[in-house]
Amino acid sequence: MELIESYLTNNPCFQANVSQADGRYALFQTRGPLGLMLHSVGCAQPRAEVFCKNWNRADYDRACVHAFIDAKTGTVRQTLPWNFRGWHCGGSGNDSHLGVELCESDAIRYEGGARFTVLDRQTALADCRRGYEAAVELFALLCGKYGLDPKSAVCSHREGGKRGIASGHADPEHYWSGLGAPYSMEGFRADVAKALATMPQTGPLYRVQVGAFRNRAYAEAYLRQVQAHFPEAFLKTEAN
Ligand SMILES: [Zn+2]
């Protein structure tokens, strides 16, 4: 899985995280995600970079997600730090879950709502599979990083809506069922769990350190400078 960082720094959601506009942002940033929500874009646009370009604007205040998965390459474009609070599901799930969008094949044509016609089934299924497989790998990685159990922590936007933590959308299940693709959320969770179980969990841990101080105020001041460029940076106190 290839991951490219393309943070949507101009999106108002990114800015709300930087300024910690209210307590929900600070909480999400210190605690990290409690769950992972899978979406699909709901339009026939397979290219992740198109969304990155369109959403990275100060006037794009409708939504912001953590990543888009390109349907033509399987490349993950990470658009928010994983511990930023996103605007992806239109409900309280934004306080608990991070959100990842599968880009959808251009071999389909939307007819309104969640209904679409398949123009080239073979191409559409190949695009769908590429995104699905990258999503399995990414979700396994994130479950490992945040100590989440795929069986309970992973849901779709549609499932979130049914549980009352998201708006009433059909994604991504409508995309899979509309294509006749052999995927379901039950299967997705099982595939993530399988990928997580085979991921190397041991071995050396490589940390990058950028400063060390005896004076806590100096450390905090420096941290703020580092965070302006690398929002995931944090302060760790070591006794010695
Ligand atoms: Zn969605």
Q: pLDDT (tens digit, 9 = 90+) per residue, 29-75?
A: 999 999 999 999 999 999 999 999 999 999 999 999 999 999 999 99
Q: If you average pLDDT over residues 92-111, what whole number do you get?
A: 98
Distance of CA 76 from the midpoint of ligand 1 (Å): 17
Rounded Cα distance between 204 and 90, Å, is: 39
Q: Which of 193, 198, 41, 206 shows the shortest CA–CA distance to 110?
A: 41
Q: Are strands 35-40 and 154-156 parallel, antiparallel or unpaired?
A: parallel
Where would I find the H helices in the chain? 12-18, 23-31, 48-55, 93-96, 121-146, 150-153, 157-162, 173-179, 185-197, 216-229
Distance of CA 101 from the midpoint of ligand 1 (Å): 7
Distance of CA 234 from the midpoint of ligand 1 (Å): 30
Task: For 158-177, write each residue's pLDDT tens digit.
Answer: 999 999 999 999 999 999 99
Distance of CA 57 from the midpoint of ligand 1 (Å): 20
Q: If you average pLDDT over residues 110-121, what whole number do you get?
A: 96
Banded model confidence at residue 203, pLDDT cuts 50, 70, 90: low
Rounded Cα distance between 25 and 85, Å, is: 6
Question: Looking at the DSSP assignment, which residues form a beta bridge with residue 100?
Answer: 38, 67
Judged by DSSP in three states, 232 sits in coil
Looking up tokens 């990928």 gives 195
Distance of CA 199 from the midpoint of ligand 1 (Å): 28
Q: Which of 56, 142, 60, 159 shows the shortest CA–CA distance to 98?
A: 142
Distance of CA 154 from the midpoint of ligand 1 (Å): 14
Rounded Cα distance between 190 and 200, Å, is: 18
Distance of CA 58 from the midpoint of ligand 1 (Å): 21
Q: Give me the phi and psi of 124, to 5 degrees please.
A: -60, -40
C-beta neighbour count of 118 within 10 angstroms: 16
Distance of CA 171 from the midpoint of ligand 1 (Å): 5
Distance of CA 209 from the midpoint of ligand 1 (Å): 37
Distance of CA 156 from the midpoint of ligand 1 (Å): 8
Distance of CA 100 from the midpoint of ligand 1 (Å): 9
Query: Which domains, from first to last, does the chain contain?
Result: 3-197 (3.40.80.10), 205-240 (no CATH)
Banded model confidence at residue 95, pLDDT cuts 50, 70, 90: very high
Per-residue pLDDT, 201:
65
Q: Give me the phi and psi of 87, to 5 degrees please.
A: -120, 75
Distance of CA 113 from the midpoint of ligand 1 (Å): 13
Rounded Cα distance between 94 and 80, Å, is: 13
Radius of gyration of the chain (CA): 19
Rounded Cα distance between 89 and 64, Å, is: 9
Per-residue pLDDT, 199:
87
186: left (phi over 0), alpha (psi -120 to 50) or beta: alpha
